[in-house]
Structure 1
Amino acid sequence: MSNTRTDTGTLLALTFVVSFCSFAYEFVYSELLTVMYGGTVTQYVITVGLYFFSLGIGAALSDDLDATDLGGNFFRTEVFLAAVAPAGFLLIVALNSVRIPQSIPSEVIWMTARLPVVVVGFLSGFELPLLTHMVDELEDGEATMPNWLRSTCGQIHEIMVSILGTVWNVKRTDGRRSGLSLVLAMDYVGGLAGAVVYARVLYPGIGLIPTIFVLALLNGIAALVFVAHFGDWAWWPVGGGKRTSRELSIGHVSKTLLVVCLVLTASYAGVVAKHDTADEQLSELYLEQQIENRYPPGAMRATVTSQETTTYQHVIRYNRTWTGTGPNPYFTGRTEQCLRLGSAVQLCESWADSYHQGLVDVPMSLVEPGPKTNVLVVGGGDWIAIDHLREYDVSVDHVDLDGEFMQQAKTDPFFRTWHDDAYEYDRLNTTTADGYHYLQETNETYDLVLLDIPGATDDDLLTLYSAEFYRSVRNHLSDEGVVATWGYSPDSYPQHHKAFVNTVGTAGFTNQLSYWVREDLDSDGQSERVEKFYVFAPGERRPLTGDGETAYVRTHEQYRTVKWHAVPRYRGVRVNSIFHPNYDILVDT
């Protein structure tokens, strides 16, 4: 009977492990698809839905597996999961790292990218039915549960029945629990553990890429422990020997499959042991291919020089080198440094100055310079906008969510080139917080609000593009205050532009001033458009040029034609709200 208790305990422990992995795979794929395609809510909802659909299909077909080979089928399932899960992860990365012919419909790419979710869900659907049948196949009687587990479950059972008895009519059930109830209970516990450990330990601790190999390693170990304990040749200290006809059925295990399992498990153990190196190399391979994808084939080579992940974003520095024929149309020289945050390029040497001139030096023509002018900067954790504001001797409140990034940018040589230690400015007050929540709590009013925030590439940023956020900004403006932000071109992103403008208009901004910043990026004597900017106001404001214009505006003739206009209103285009998001405001970069 002691062997039976050990057998049941082993199966329940394996249930915990495989459920842990199954739930965590779901989150890994959801996050990976979010990184690749954006839209956190969309990707998580679709992934969860596909996963449970596939789980149900697998469970329904599990009855067609040979009942005389329950153990063998369980072993095969774990080996296949250990092989398929990382392969599916790499498939999704590959789909976003190579140039896909335009003749292939986007729907095909969409389905292919989600195929790993379906396969992993389908295979996971086999696990619980197989484990349930194996637990039921062991000796009958309460003793099939290990003493420690029976005692723990008994105490929890008593508490739960007492709670249920306050509302429902209950009848206490003593004695043996069915295999289904035992396996389901352990499955739910394992699922919870997988969710918590993934969110609190694995993903923030080692990153997305090593996590998939940790989970696959656990699947491989589960397969090896199972076959070692229940196999006819078992050498496991608490297993061993032939099983009687009333005990677990484990058919012939292919030696080839066993070798494959051993090789996979050993390989994953090596990857996990060197997870920093594996993460860096795979990330750089993907990023370099993806960055190069933005340019014509063979025209640009990207080389990642450093990368790190803060609590809120993935920070990548890279060099881009012109490798095309003819003159380089993108920047002066052959190579320049760039900064990428998440899925979007944030800063390149060729346009770092012109971007911040458009963000700061142009709208400063609309307010008075000096200590009595209050400016709020939302974002701008690289401190460069602060450096430009310092030239006007204004008082600055600066709020950014990512304290880690701000701290790194203070001393990093790349950033110091542009911000010149602006964080030491004596009229600067920096707060590490979310911009939306900061505005909900502060009583300050501002003459100028600068939004130096990431583009709307992910629904994590929907709050900063919502009517509620812009309404809060408007409520914190002084009588002559304005808000300035960079924006996407309406020609390139028409749906985003319409949703964005309608959202800002709904928040109470009636007038807008839009302009391009131009720069001779490649030193060919001709200036090119760099970034689009908008200034919004809830009423009439003074012209951009005139007595109060900044030196930058004065020396650039292009601003003479920039005039205030009414904020347009597009029919049939819904605004973006926190509680009713309009996903048209998101862009695919």
Structure 2
Amino acid sequence: MTDGGSEVAPASPAAVVTDRRVMLGLTFVVAFCSIAYELVYSELLTVFYGGTVLRYSITIGLYLFSMGVGAFLSAHLDDPEGNFLRTEVYLAFAGPAGAAFVIALNSFPDVVFPMKGAITLALAHGPILLVGLLSGFEIPLLNELVEHREETLFATLGGVYPRRVVRGVLGAFFSVSEAEGRSFSEVLGVDYLGSLAGTVVYALVLYPRYGLVVTVLVLGLLNGLAALAFAVWSARAPTARGGDRSLSLARWRGVVLAGLLLTGTYGGLVANAGAVDRAVTGAYMGDRIESEYQPGKADVTVTGFERTAYQRVTTYQRDVAGNADTDTCLRLDQAIQLCDSWVDSYHSGLVDVPTSAYLNESGAVSGGNESFDVLLVGGGDYIAVDRLRDYDVSVDQVDIDGEFLDYSKNESAFARYHDDAHEYDRLNTTVGDAYRYLRHTDERYDLILLDVPGARSDDSLALYSTEFYTLLRQRLSDRGVVATWVYSRYYYSQHRAVHVNTLREAGFDRYLPYSVYNDPDGDGELERGERFWLLSDGPQPVPNVTRARSDYLDAVAERYERWEWRALPSYRNVEPNSVFDPNYGVIVDP
């Protein structure tokens, strides 16, 4: 009976099935979005504050806690139709707005105030709690909305699985009975399934293809569409409890209009995903880069932005006050990789200096008829390959980012320096993880060059581990050494201490330090730039830069008259970094 006293016919079986399918479909979508929002927040926090394991662990913990709070508070909510609609619209707004909030907190690095780091870090976790709280409302509300509890989805699938076998297995550990239709179990099961789908699709599709900015817009779009689909279904479908849901639609008009506005906005932004990603990330990167200089000293213009499955590739131009030349630079994620002003000196230090230790008076690699084999780890811009080509050596290159390798072949910022080195006939490039490559190869190398970014997240820990350096040492020939750039002990003392002890643990006992020199401010005075080490567990070849094929080294040869191999130091109370026992001190915080 309705309030007016007229009877309402019970819903037909077809309507029952349709109702259930709609609600369970919505359960799947909202669970998908909720967990994916938290993955976006975890990655954003990692980008800005470092510590992948820490950020993901705290995010998951706060999310589950706030979901529990939401589920507890949902006992005070009535009108399940209206409140579920409101929850989805709120989530459609709060999810993307939370990501924007985290980015905004970190977009003004020049603003300084007491305890800024601690305060911004605490505030950055606010969106996790808000999205978790709203997600906690969803399951109790959906449970009330899934009608006809005796005809659940799992009950209709009862003949698909061997129920007697399942009961037998469960009965060995629990008290069991014949399965009954329970809407809560059904909703919760579909919710878990949606969460699984959200994690998998985020990791394999959304993040690699769209990045964080567009991914969070896609999730907002899905939440908005879920809200609108529910509003349309609720307005049209009959209810077994009686009454006409369309009578309450007028009360939801404002919420529905908000959902339409959000959905339309997100749809337009997602349709122009590439432009949105470049604009947001480019503006943020520009602000970050400018903040590295004194206020007003640098003018930065982002000229290109690409995203691969492993990193963000940003090219930009910077005009530094007092320097007449415009510098074109490259960054991978937030770490600077090269600039016009020092690309020559860096690669001379990485390639020409160590190679010169093996050159004879004519400038050819010594060793008679033996081949000279080089392993290049990284070097996806092919500039190091171009330098090695000058010495006619055999090069095995291993780089995990195949998309970046392809990008570098034609990108003008690299092409003028590598001169199509990817076509070098003695180059063998392997797209894959260097750690795995070293575990499976039997090749031995006369020189190993590490042209890889510094450790700035948990993802790069393996390339700074005792296991990795042990493999490098084992792949050296009797005369072989490893060449790598290193951080300054003055600016990165903690990182350096862990790095050195890791090298010692891996079996390296000697190193040859040297630096390159640049004129970054254009005042005509050379300053120390990138620092390098040669690493060895036995041989101690001495470079002779006068034999190298480098105009840069010819101009600064007098700075390389003294060479001294030294015993690798040891730092007390500093644990090495291992794959199975990581020391996060080797990570340089963004």
Fold-level similarity (TM above 0.5): yes
Cα distance in 1, alignment partners of residues 294 and 195 from structure 2: 45
Cα distance in 2, alignment partners of residues 485 and 111 from structure 1: 37
2:342 aligns with 351
1:374 aligns with 373
Q: TM-score, normalised by structure 1?
A: 0.90
Cα distance in 2, alignment partners of residues 155 and 372 from structure 1: 64
> Unaligned stretches of 5+ in structure 2?
1-10
Q: Which SS does the other structure have where 1:569 is aligned?
A: coil
Please, what is the CA RMSD of the aligned residues?
Answer: 2.7
8 Å CA contact retained: 1:513, 1:563: yes
2:586 aligns with 585
Q: Which SS does the other structure have where 2:125 is aligned?
A: helix
Give 1:123's aligned amino acid: L
Q: Deviations over 1:376-431 (max 9, x none)?
A: 11111111111112222222222211222222222333212111222233332222
8 Å CA contact retained: 2:139, 2:187: yes
Cα distance in 1, alignment partners of residues 394 and 284 from structure 2: 42
Cα distance in 1, alignment partners of residues 318 and 473 from structure 2: 40
Q: Percent of counterpart pairs with the same letter?
A: 47
Q: Which SS does the other structure have where 1:531 is aligned?
A: strand
Cα distance in 2, alignment partners of residues 485 and 166 from structure 1: 60
Correspondence for 2:286 among 288, 306, 322: 288
CA deviation after TM superposition for structure 1 residue 373, in Å? 2.0
Q: Is 2:188 the partner of 1:184?
A: yes
Cα distance in 2, alignment partners of residues 102 and 512 from structure 1: 42
1:88 aligns with 98
8 Å CA contact retained: 2:376, 2:451: yes
Give 2:380's aligned amino acid: G
8 Å CA contact retained: 2:68, 2:136: yes
Q: Deviations over 1:167-189 (max 9, x none)?
A: 446645255x1221111111111
8 Å CA contact retained: 1:78, 1:219: yes
Give 2:351's aligned amino acid: V
**Structure 1 segment 44-59 matched on structure 2, within 5 A:** 44-59=56-71
Q: Deviations over 1:240-296 (max 9, x none)?
A: 589627999979834333322221122112222222222222222222222222222
CA deviation after TM superposition for structure 1 residue 533, in Å? 0.9
Q: Flag the 1:379–1:245 CA change in 2: closer, same or farther, 3 A.
A: same
Give 1:376's aligned amino acid: L
8 Å CA contact retained: 1:71, 1:251: no
8 Å CA contact retained: 1:304, 1:317: yes
Q: Which SS does the other structure have where 1:207 is aligned?
A: helix
2:386 aligns with 387
1:479 aligns with 478
**Structure 1 segment 121-270 matched on structure 2, within 5 A:** 121-135=132-146, 138-139=147-148, 142-143=150-151, 145=152, 150-152=155-157, 154-156=159-161, 158=163, 161=166, 164=169, 167-168=172-173, 171-175=176-180, 177-230=181-234, 234=235, 236=236, 239=237, 244=242, 253-270=251-268
Cα distance in 1, alignment partners of residues 165 and 132 from structure 2: 31
8 Å CA contact retained: 2:224, 2:262: yes
Cα distance in 1, alignment partners of residues 586 and 168 from structure 2: 47
Give 2:82's aligned amino acid: G
CA deviation after TM superposition for structure 1 residue 21, in Å? 0.8
Q: Flag the 1:242–1:296 CA change in 2: closer, same or farther, 3 A.
A: farther
Q: Flag the 1:109–1:488 CA change in 2: closer, same or farther, 3 A.
A: same
Cα distance in 1, alignment partners of residues 22 and 526 from structure 2: 71
8 Å CA contact retained: 2:208, 2:310: no
Q: Which SS does the other structure have where 2:346 is aligned?
A: helix
Q: Flag the 1:110–1:249 CA change in 2: closer, same or farther, 3 A.
A: farther
2:36 aligns with 24
Q: Which moved more, 1:221-230 or 1:209-218?
A: 221-230
Aligned length: 567
Q: Flag the 1:399–1:434 CA change in 2: closer, same or farther, 3 A.
A: same
Q: Deviations over 1:547-589 (max 9, x none)?
A: 9777765752222244211111000001000011110000023
Cα distance in 2, alignment partners of residues 251 and 173 from structure 1: 41
Cα distance in 1, alignment partners of residues 196 and 168 from structure 2: 22
Give 1:142's aligned amino acid: E
Q: Is 2:65 the partner of 1:64?
A: no
8 Å CA contact retained: 2:466, 2:577: yes
8 Å CA contact retained: 1:70, 1:249: no
1:557 aligns with 558
CA deviation after TM superposition for structure 1 residue 10, in Å? 2.3
8 Å CA contact retained: 1:545, 1:553: no
Q: Which moved more, 1:527-536 or 1:94-103?
A: 94-103
Q: TM-score, normalised by structure 2?
A: 0.90
Q: Flag the 1:157–1:58 CA change in 2: closer, same or farther, 3 A.
A: farther
Q: Which SS does the other structure have where 2:449 is aligned?
A: strand
Q: Which SS does the other structure have where 1:523 is aligned?
A: coil
Give 2:296's aligned amino acid: G
Give 1:198's aligned amino acid: Y
**Structure 1 segment 322-361 matched on structure 2, within 5 A:** 322=320, 324=321, 327-328=322-323, 333-361=324-352
> Unaligned stretches of 5+ in structure 1?
none
Q: Flag the 1:169–1:527 CA change in 2: closer, same or farther, 3 A.
A: closer
